[in-house]
């Protein structure tokens, strides 16, 4: 049976000279785009790949090692990347939906001399989606010690190095931190390109306070260390954000419920992806819901801040005693009311009791 390669070589030989170029990438014979030149008669006897190589040599095509095309593809149009400043460009990439990439990120990835990434197989999907030909080099926890000096040498030579993670913003629970530290120490420019972030996406979807939050990465995998870490975070007056894996989610939720009490929380899974899910409830309820399960996908856990407790009478009296020693009755009542959240009438009544002023001043508290 005639092979595909021999058919392709024969077709190339039989084509003969022709004007212009001919687009043939998807024809039934699977021919290629070839500039106008007479076809060597010997091409019929060589496989298709060899024929392509012969044509490339005959037409003096650029060698494979030549600089890559600095372009990217958007909505079917090829867009040239603008000139990029030398230095390290820290680029945020999508956490799931590849459509979340920014135009500036595409310009940078296409205009860079090299892209340093955690896993070249994962990052290749993004590069292929937008037809970006910039070379990829692996940079991760396991090869950082050997890969970092090479990247720093490229920066020293004035190259443009883009740094990306598998998903989201580099340096957030990923190995880019040491590279940035050493680049800064060596005096190289570091350019941040903001964009997708799993922790921020989860925070805004959780429905919990966002004005003050603490991101603590992954909780320790060992139970004892995890419980100690939770205890250390218990008094932090802010929402807490963690990354977690499916196999450890149930245990972490149970330990959080035991260590932090009935705080509201949200489990955010596969954000921006097809099976996106946000499940909300108090920590004990969520721990029970995920007990015995190992949900798949990327998970972000958001826990609300400590629940505010109403100040007791002793606390109010102590605060009033301090305030009355420094200000008038009216000002002391106003200050303690604001701090404790107790009703103004109650605070005023306790202030009167402390000062022995009696009920004569009574209703004036509301004035």
**Do 154 and 161 contact (CB within 8 A), yes or no?**
yes
Task: Give CA–CA dist 367/220, Å, rounded.
Answer: 54
> Which band of pLDDT confidence, cut at 50, 70 and 90, is reported for residue 205?
very high
Query: How many Cα atoms sit within 13 Å of 235 on the Cβ side?
Result: 2
Determine the pLDDT at residue 178: 94
pLDDT at 194: 96
Residue 327 CA to residue 287 CA, distance in Å, equals: 49
User: Bigger pLDDT: 174 or 217?
Assistant: 217
Task: List Cβ<8 Å contacts ≥24 apart for 327-331.
Answer: 329/355, 329/357, 329/361
Torsion of CA 254, 278, 214, 194, to 10 degrees: 150
d(CA 35, CA 30): 16
Q: Which pLDDT tens digit goes with each residue over 126-179?
A: 999 999 999 999 999 999 999 999 999 999 999 999 999 999 999 887 789 999
The total number of residues shown for the chain amounts to: 367
pLDDT at 290 over 80: yes
- Percent pLDDT > 90 in the chain is 63
How far lies 367's CA from each of 237, 331, 348, 362, 363, in Å?
Answer: 33, 12, 11, 11, 8
Sequence-distant (6+) residues with CB within 8 A of 189 are 85, 86, 87, 88
Q: What is the pLDDT of residues 86-128, one digit of tens each?
A: 999 999 999 999 999 999 999 999 999 999 999 999 999 999 9
Stretch 33-62: mean pLDDT: 40
pLDDT at 344: 87
Report pLDDT for 117: 97
CA-CA-CA-CA dihedral for 193, 198, 201, 203, to nearest 10: -120
Would you place residue 311 in the very low, low, confident or very high pLDDT band (cuts 50, 70, 90)?
Answer: low
pLDDT at 47 over 50: no
Q: What is residue 2's predicted lDDT score, i.e. its pLDDT? A: 38
Q: Are 114 and 134 in contact (CB under 8 A)?
A: yes
Query: Torsion angle, CA of 100/104/109/114, rounded to 10 degrees?
Result: -140
- Whole-number average pLDDT of the chain: 82
């Amino acid at each position: 049976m005639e092979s595909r390669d021999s058919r392709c070589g024969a077709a190339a030989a039989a084509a003969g000279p022709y004007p212009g170029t001919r687009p043939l990438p998807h024809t039934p014979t699977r021919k290629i785009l070839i500039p106008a030149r007479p076809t060597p008669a010997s091409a019929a006897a060589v496989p298709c790949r060899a024929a392509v190589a012969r044509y490339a040599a005959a037409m003096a095509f650029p060698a494979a090692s030549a600089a890559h095309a600095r372009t990217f593809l958007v909505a079917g149009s090829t867009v040239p990347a603008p000139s990029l400043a030398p230095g390290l460009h820290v680029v945020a990439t999508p956490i799931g939906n590849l459509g979340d990439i920014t135009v500036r990120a595409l310009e940078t990835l296409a205009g860079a001399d090299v892209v340093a990434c955690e896993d070249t197989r994962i990052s290749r999907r993004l590069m292929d989606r937008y037809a970006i030909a910039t070379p990829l080099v692996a940079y991760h926890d396991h090869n950082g010690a050997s890969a970092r000096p090479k990247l720093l040498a490229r920066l020293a030579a004035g190259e443009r190095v883009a740094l990306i993670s598998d998903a989201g913003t580099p340096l957030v629970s990923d190995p880019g931190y040491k590279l940035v530290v050493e680049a800064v120490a060596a005096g190289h420019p570091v350019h941040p390109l903001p964009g997708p972030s799993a922790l921020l996406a989860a925070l805004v979807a959780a429905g919990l306070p966002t004005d003050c939050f603490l991101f603590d990465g992954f909780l320790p995998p060992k139970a004892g260390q995890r419980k100690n870490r939770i205890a250390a975070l218990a008094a932090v007056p802010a929402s807490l954000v963690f990354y977690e894996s499916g196999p450890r989610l149930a245990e972490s939720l149970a330990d959080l419920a035991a260590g932090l009490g009935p705080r509201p929380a949200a489990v955010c899974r596969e954000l921006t992806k097809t099976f996106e899910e946000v499940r909300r409830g108090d920590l004990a309820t969520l721990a029970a819901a995920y007990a015995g399960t190992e949900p798949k996908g990327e998970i972000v856990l958001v826990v609300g801040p400590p629940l505010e407790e109403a100040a007791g009478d002793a606390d109010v009296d102590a605060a009033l005693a301090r305030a009355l020693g420094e200000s008038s009755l009216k000002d002391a009542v106003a200050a303690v009311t604001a701090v404790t959240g107790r009703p103004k009438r109650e605070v005023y009544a306790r202030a009167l009791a402390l000062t022995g002023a009696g009920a004569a001043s009574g209703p004036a508290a509301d004035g």
